[in-house]
Amino acid sequence: MGLRAVFLDRDKTILMPKGREKYIYRAEDFHIPDNFIEALRRLIDQDYLLFVITNQGRIAKGYLTEKDVEELHNSLDSILKDNGVYISEYEYCPHNPRGSLYPYNIICECRKPKTGMIDSIRNSYEIEVSNSWMIGDSYKDILAGNKAGLRTIQVLTGAESYTHDADFVEADLVKAVNRILTEK
């Protein structure tokens, strides 16, 4: 039997933009509500592995670099570890076919709603998809989770509209974790 996992979108799922910022570029652009951290810890306590998978197509548009993304992930990881939350792996897709920066302006297999990031992690960790979840705020997150065979929860913290493709729709990460822990 494989391992159970929760795949998490990053922006507006775990990380909330500060102020009126629409995008999160650097550590000073986000905050993590304390109850989100506690919810993630509850998943770990129930033996779920946590993975962050995020589209970062703004790299292809020249707004940030891979180094910027890695620094933000290091900052996030430090905050989470200080609070007893361990992310097993961070994956990001730097591609965007509408970008102008080569070699990132391509069609790839990792950009959600495709499943490349999930597939890579699933194969490396022997994840049992039937007992695993995808949580995200966008329809791309939900479609990727569905295509990969995961159960899906859309959170409304960043959603401009909700998708009918999600197994569940919840207000935020805390409610999504509650759903996972009652559905298992």
* Residue 82: how many other CB atoms lie within 10 Å: 9
Q: Say if CB 57 and CB 44 are below 8 A apart.
A: no
Which residue in the list 9, 137, 141, 172 is annotated as catalytic? Answer: 9
Q: Is 45 a catalytic residue?
A: no
User: If you search the block for the tokens 């109850």, which residue do you land on?
Assistant: 35
Strand partners, 8: 52, 135
Which residue in the list 11, 137, 141, 172 is annotated as catalytic? Answer: 11
Q: Is 167 a catalytic residue?
A: no
Q: Which is nearest to 172 in space by CA: 135, 139, 141, 146? A: 135
* Residue 44: how many other CB atoms lie within 10 Å: 17
Catalytically active residues are 9, 11
